Structure 1
Amino acid sequence: MASRLSGGAKPRITLTAVDHERLTQLATAATDTFPEVAAELADELARARVLAKGRHLADTVRMGSEVLFRDETTGRETTVTLVYPQDADIAQGRISILTPVGTALIGLSVGQSINWTTRGGDVKRLTVQAVREPAQAEVLPG
C-alpha cells in the first residue's frame, strides 16, 4: 500500500511521550475500522522523535493544539483543532487525528510543510503557519 502522506522525504516530527503512547494505542485499535489511516498514523509514530515525559515544544502540533495551516495548492488558510475521534466536530473546526489531514499535521512545527493525500486521492501540500497550545482539558481523550 502506498503512503497517503505523499511525495519525497517527510519532515522531521516531534511528539510528546503522552501523545505517542495514546496515539499508538489508537492506531492499533483503529486497524480494523480505518486500516489505511491507522497504518499511516502508525508510520508517523514510528518515525517521530519522542520527547521525555512532561516535555513539549510550544510551536509543535500535538493533540488538542489549534493549528493554522496553508494549503499550498490553493493558498487557503484554515484553522483547526486536532482532537481524538470521539471529539471531532468539523462544524467547530475540530478534526480527528484519524483523518488524512489530522495524521499529516501531528508533530509538525511552525514553518514545516508536508504532502498528504485526501480521501478522494488528491495530493495536497500544507504548511503550518501557527500553533496554539491546547488547554489541559483538550489534551486528554474523552
Structure 2
Amino acid sequence: MTQSKKTSRKPRIVVSDIDYKRLTNLAADAYDRFPEVAEELQIELDRAQVKPAASVPSDVVQMGSTVEFRSDSAQQRRVTLVFPGEADIAQNRVSILTPIGAALIGLSTGQSIAWTARDGRKHELTVVGVEQPEPVTGDMTLARRPG
C-alpha cells in the first residue's frame, strides 16, 4: 500500500518566536527520555515559519491554546496544549511531548495533519477551532480603584 502525496505533505505552520525558543530547548532536553517525540517536535519546529508572538494569528495553535479537532475516526475532541509538567489527560491538558501535541503545534483552523501514535498507528486530525488563553498583563488600568 502506498501513501498518496496529498496525505504525506505536511501543512504550513506558524510558531511564535517565544514558543520556538522554549520548545527547541525542551526538545533538546527531552531527547534522552523521549527520543521519538522529541525528534518529531524538532522536525515540526524546523519547518515552521517563526514570527514575533504579537503577529501570530489568533487561530494558530500555540502553547496554552485550547484546540478543538476532529480525528480520522470522526471523533471530535477539545484539548489544551501544555508543557509536560502541566499535562493532565483527565482535564484534557495534552503535553507538547506527546505525538498528538507535537502534531498540533503551529496548525491553524481548517488545517489537517497526519501523525503517528506511540503504538505506531497512523492517524489524521483536522483543527476545527482554536482559542487562546487570556493574556496575563501588568496593565492595571482596568482594575477597579477602591473607594
Q: Given the two structures, how large is their TM-score scaled by the length of structure 2?
A: 0.85
**Seq. identity, %:** 52
CA RMSD of aligned residues (A): 1.1
> Highest Rg: 1 or 2?
2
Q: How does 1:1-142 map to 2 (within 5 A)?
A: 8-72=8-72, 74-136=73-135
Q: Is the 8 A contact 1:104 1:116 kept in 2?
A: yes
Q: What is the CA–CA distance in structure 1 between the aligned matches of 2:42 and 2:100, rounded to whole Å?
A: 15
Gaps in structure 2 of 5+ consecutive residues:
1-6, 137-147
Q: What is the CA–CA distance in structure 1 between the aligned matches of 2:32 and 2:134, rounded to whole Å?
A: 31
Q: Is the 8 A contact 2:18 2:52 kept in 1?
A: no
Q: 1:53/1:76 Cα in 2 relative to 1: closer, same or farther (>3 Å)?
A: closer
One-letter code aligned to 2:109: V
Q: What is the CA–CA distance in structure 1 between the aligned matches of 2:12 and 2:75, rounded to whole Å?
A: 24
Cα offset, 1:54, TM superposition: 3.2
| Higher relative contact order (Cα pairs below 8 Å, separated by 6+ residues) | 1
Q: What is the CA–CA distance in structure 2 between the aligned matches of 1:132 and 1:45, rounded to whole Å?
A: 21
Q: What is the CA–CA distance in structure 1 between the aligned matches of 2:66 and 2:117, rounded to whole Å?
A: 20
Structure 1 residue runs of 4+, over 4 Å off? none
Cα offset, 1:58, TM superposition: 0.4
Q: Is the 8 A contact 1:63 1:134 kept in 2?
A: no
